[in-house]
Each structure stands twice: as C-alpha cells, then as structure tokens.
Amino acid sequence: MATDSSVDEVSSNSPVVLITGCSTGLGRALVLEAASQGLRVIATARKISAIENLRAPNIAILTLDVTASMSQLEDFANKALTVFGQVDILINNAGYPLVGALEEVSSDQTLGIFKTNFFGSLNVANVFLPHFRARHSGTIINISSMMPYITTPGSGPYTATKAALDSITKVWAGELAPFKIRVMGVSLGFTRTELLGSNLNTVENTVKNPIPDYTIVRELHEQVRALYGHEPNDVQKVAKRIFDVVLTHNELPVMFPLGDDAVTSADEYLNQRRSEFEKWKELGMGVSADD
C-alpha cells in the first residue's frame, strides 16, 4: 500500500519516472541519475524512512509494497499520478535474491520470492497500464538478471523469477506496441550493490533446512559471498547507461544485457542454444497430422 510524504512543487515539463525498490543499490542509483538528468522522479520503498534523504525539488517519495493487493496497488497508482500529474517511465526494480537447491528451498520461500520479483513487477505495471494506454505513451523497464543465461546450481528460485519476468517482458512488448508503449528488460550482470551482501542474508533469503548432500550449492554460496564487493559492474554507471538508452533511443531492445559479464553470458547462451537446436531440429520435425 502507499502513503505519501509531502513533496516540493516542481514546475516542469520533463518526463516523470517512477522507480520501485529505491532504498539501496540500483534503485537509489537510478533515482539520483534520473534527477541529475533533469527528470522528475517518484522514488518508492516499503519504508519511507529508508528514502527520506532522497527528497529533493524534483524527487517525490512514496511508500510502496509491491506485494500489496491489487486494490491497494490501484490506490497507489492513483496517488502517484497526482504527484506530478503523470508517469512516463516505470522502472520495476524491487527484488531480492535467494540461494539454495530447489529441493531444500521451502515452498513458502519460493512463493515469497515470486510475489516480489515476478508478481510485484507484473501487478505494479498493470495498475499503470490504463494511464499509459489512455495517453498512447509510456515506457516499462523491468530490471532482470543475466542469471537465466547461466542457470547455476543453487540459483533456481531467483533465476526462475527472472526468467518469468523476461517472458512477460517479451509478451508485453508485443501486446503494448499498438499503444506506443515501449518495454525493455535489463539482463543485468553482477553489480556492486547489497544484492550479494546484506540482501542475501535476511531471513527470507536463507535456507532454513539445508541438505548436507548439496555441497555444490554450498560451494556456490561461498563463491557468491566472495564476489561481494568485487562485482565487475559499477552501479552508477549501470544507472546512467539505462537512462542513456531509454532517453536517447525511440526504439528499445526487448532484452538488453548490461555489463560485460552479461553480454558475454548472453552471447554464449545464444550460441549454445543454436548449436543444440541444429543438432536436434530434424527429430523435432515430421509429426504433422496427415489431413
């Protein structure tokens, strides 16, 4: 649900961007980058206190829990649209990680991460789509991950949420094109945020009953912990590149790998899939009905 904190009035014709998950990391970097480029920004987080220090003449702050009910999200959208009178760009950034073998992650944990990482983006976008369709204008940016390209052991639930998000990004791109609504998914590489730090160690992100046999998963978890603070991508450069692409190109890629590691992983994934397809395509043919 949403509650607003009083914001300074801004007289401007610049685009309005609404960003979810702004308390830390990429969300916060996106807010600061958007403001520096002269956009009007609506920054959101579950706790208003976490983003209070972002308030500025062109930055409004609102409370938003992306897992709220549809009626609460509709109320939020109505409230958000009164701040600057419109929303031009929606960036679905809210999400969290979870490391564990599929067998040892509880169903509640899997449902929980889907509620935030997938349904949160789906539902928040859906409550703004009537506004976008009415204006025949709008942009939806879904912050995804390169993980669907590499699918490492122990990343199953998180990777599944991002793969699902990628799928609806592609569907939206087709469904919303007639309304001149642009849609882009960002397949983000490892970036220096708290995703692999404190975000990985909260209660909902920790396997409660680990199975000793899954040594491969424990090894991965240690590798992930070791990567924290040494991720190859700079969060502010990532934020800047996203806005550079969105603001300077009329046509957007449906999926945009961002970061050298993400681009390399995407390239390898596509080559592997093409090789596999060529090997098996003949066996996939010849089953058409005779009539």
Name the residues annotated as catalytic. 23, 144, 158, 162
Distance, in Å, from the CA atom of 4 to the CA atom of 45, rounded to the nearest integer, reads 11
* 42 bridge partner residues: 18, 60
Question: Contact 80/6 with Cβ under 8 angstroms?
Answer: no
Question: Contact 253/183 with Cβ under 8 angstroms?
Answer: no
* 233 bridge partner residues: 191
Question: Contact 75/2 with Cβ under 8 angstroms?
Answer: yes
- Sheet containing 138-143: which strands, arranged edge to edge? 59-63, 40-45, 16-19, 89-92, 138-143, 181-188, 255-258
Going by the DSSP 8-state scheme, the letter that residue 239 receives in this structure is H
Residue 279: phi and psi, rounded to 5, are -70, -35
